Structure 1
Amino acid sequence: MARVIQPFEFVEPSTIDEALGLASSEGSRLFAGGCELVLSMRRGLARYNRLVSIMGITGLDGFRAHPKHGLEFGAQVKIRQLANHIWVGKRWAALHEAMEQLHPPHIMNMGTVVGNLCSAVPYYDLPTSLYAHRAVIRIGDASKVRDLPIDDFYVGSRLTALKPGEMVTSVFVPPPVADAGSAFKKIYKARRRSEDLHKINAAAYVALDAAKEAIVDATLVVGSVGFKPVRIVEAEAALIGKPASHATYEAAAGIAAGTVAPLTDAAWVEEIRSEWIRILARDVLEQAASRARSRHDPAEDAHLAY
Structure 2
Amino acid sequence: MKSFEYFKVKTVAEAIDRLKENPDGSHILNGGTDLVLRMRENHLHPDRIIDIRGIEELKEIRFSKEEGLFVGACVPLGEMAHHKSVVEHYSLLADAAELVGSGQIRNVATMAGNLCNASPLADTATPALVLKAVMIVEGSNGEKEIPVNEFFKGVRRTALEKTDVVKGVRIPYEEGLQGSFQKASRRKDVDLSTVCASGVKIGDEYRFALGAVAPTPLRLPKVESFLKGKEINEDTIKQALDLIDDEISPIDDVRSTKEFRVHLAKTLVQRCLEQMA
For each residue in 1:107-151, what CA deviation from the matched residue of structure 2 results, as whole angstroms up to 9, or x when unmatched?
Answer: 210111111111112221111111111111111125621111101
Identity fraction in percent: 28
> Which residue of the partner structure matches residue 8 of structure 1?
4
Q: How many residues align?
A: 269
**Quick check: 276-285 or 62-71, which moved more?**
62-71
Q: Does 1:157 find its partner at 2:155?
A: yes
> Which residue of the partner structure matches residue 247 of structure 2?
259
Contact preservation (8 Å) 2:134, 2:145: yes
Provide TM-score, normalisation by structure 2: 0.89
2:50 to 42, 52, 77: 52
Mark the CA change 1:155 to 1:68 in structure 2 (over 3 Å): closer, same or farther. same
> Which residue of the partner structure matches residue 82 of structure 1?
80
Contact preservation (8 Å) 2:8, 2:52: yes
Displacement of 1:14: 1.7
Displacement of 1:30: 1.2
Displacement of 1:9: 2.3
> Which residue of the partner structure matches residue 129 of structure 2?
131
Contact preservation (8 Å) 1:246, 1:286: no
Aligned counterparts of 2:169 and 2:62: Cα–Cα separation in 1: 11
Q: Gaps spanning 5+ residues in structure 1: where?
A: 191-196, 209-215, 291-306
Contact preservation (8 Å) 1:258, 1:274: no
Displacement of 1:57: 2.5
Aligned counterparts of 2:3 and 2:86: Cα–Cα separation in 1: 39
> Which residue of the partner structure matches residue 23 of structure 1?
19
2:182 to 171, 181, 185: 185
Contact preservation (8 Å) 1:154, 1:161: yes
Displacement of 1:246: 4.4
Aligned counterparts of 2:183 and 2:197: Cα–Cα separation in 1: 6
> Which residue of the partner structure matches residue 108 of structure 1?
106
Displacement of 1:36: 0.5
Contact preservation (8 Å) 1:31, 1:115: no
> Which residue of the partner structure matches residue 222 of structure 2?
234
Aligned counterparts of 2:140 and 2:54: Cα–Cα separation in 1: 16
1:56-75 correspondence runs (5 A): 56-66=54-64, 69-75=67-73
Displacement of 1:54: 0.9
Displacement of 1:198: 6.6
Aligned counterparts of 2:128 and 2:210: Cα–Cα separation in 1: 12
Aligned counterparts of 1:206 and 1:70: Cα–Cα separation in 2: 17
Q: Does 1:222 find its partner at 2:218?
A: no
Larger Rg: 1
| Runs ≥4 residues deviating over 4 A | none
Displacement of 1:67: 5.3
Provide TM-score, normalisation by structure 1: 0.81
> Which residue of the partner structure matches residue 295 of structure 1?
none
1:240-251 correspondence runs (5 A): 240-251=228-239
Contact preservation (8 Å) 2:77, 2:98: no
> Which residue of the partner structure matches residue 199 of structure 2?
204
Displacement of 1:106: 1.5
Displacement of 1:47: 1.4
Q: Gaps spanning 5+ residues in structure 2: where?
A: none
